[in-house]
Amino acid sequence: MVVVSSSGISGAVKRSGPAQSSQPQIIKPRQKIQRDASTKLNIIIVGAGLGGVGAAIGLLLGGHDVTILESAPQIAEVGAGIQVLPNASRLLQEWGMKEALDRYSTAPSHVNMLGWKGNTITRMSTEDSAKLYPGTAYWDFHRANLHKCLVERAEELGAKLVVNSKVANVVAKEEGAQCFLKTVQSGKRIS
Ligand SMILES: Cc1cc2nc3c(=O)[nH]c(=O)nc-3n(C[C@H](O)[C@H](O)[C@H](O)COP(=O)(O)OP(=O)(O)OC[C@H]3O[C@@H](n4cnc5c(N)ncnc54)[C@H](O)[C@@H]3O)c2cc1C
């Protein structure tokens, strides 16, 4: 079975430009929590993919310090399209990214489920589905654009991104939650 969106390979409908939500309700961006040293964590995330950078944004908004170690020599995302569903578009708006993402998103009108012979198995209206979750939308992106916006937001919030840092080992110490990360290139320990 092949699952495609209408802005994808089926090509039935494609709207370029800013994503349109039929919902008037606005999802407000979260404010960054201010913490003192007694509750602020020093967090290391391994890998600057969509997951790692997204986690960094959530943790930074939670008031913690975040360092992301990436093995590649530069921060980048490869690949093709990615579909963002209502739960994720809600988070991206809460992370204060709507304006930046509006430049790159397209809004599919339907998701078609096709059999291998191209026959339609079922079809779902994304607009009707998003109405069940006010303020959200279905968005499609090129991965590189979504990733670029996430990296920019993480850096704006204070993330420290370190490339050429392949993590070879993590050692959790019993007397605390401190971890030691040994990077392959430098052999240095980061805590
Ligand atoms: C074909 C396909 C289609 C998909 N479509 C969708 C979709 O439409 N919507 C959706 O929500 N999801 C989709 N997904 C899932 C989504 O792409 C993944 O969940 C997401 O990209 C995972 O992100 P990640 O950051 O966890 O991992 P990755 O993107 O794999 O990033 C991992 C990063 O960690 C780095 N790294 C690895 N090991 C180390 C190390 N030891 N030290 C330092 N750095 C390291 C890597 O270089 C890389 O940059 C799809 C997945 C596939 C395969």
- Residue with the smallest CA separation from ligand 1 atom 4 is 82
Q: How far, rounded to the nearest angstrom, does the alpha carbon of residue 149 sit from its chain's CA centroid?
A: 9
How far apart CA 47 and CA 28 sit, in angstroms, is 28
pLDDT for 188 equals 64
How far apart CA 165 and CA 162 sit, in angstroms, is 7
Domains of the chain, by residue range, sit at: 33-110+137-190
Q: Which of 65-69, 113-117, 137-141, 171-175 has the lowest mean pLDDT?
A: 171-175
Task: Pick 165 or 149 by higher pLDDT.
Answer: 149
Task: Pick 79 or 129 by higher pLDDT.
Answer: 129
pLDDT in tens, 39-50: 999 999 999 999
Considering the domain 33-110+137-190 in this protein, what is its CATH number?
A: 3.50.50.60
| DSSP-assigned letter for residue 22 | S
Beta bridge partners of 4: 112
Which residues have C-beta atoms less than 6 Å from ligand 1? 46-52, 69-72, 82-83, 166-167
- Residue with the smallest CA separation from ligand 1 atom 34 is 47
Q: At what angle do helices 143-156 and 50-61 cross, to 10 degrees?
A: 30
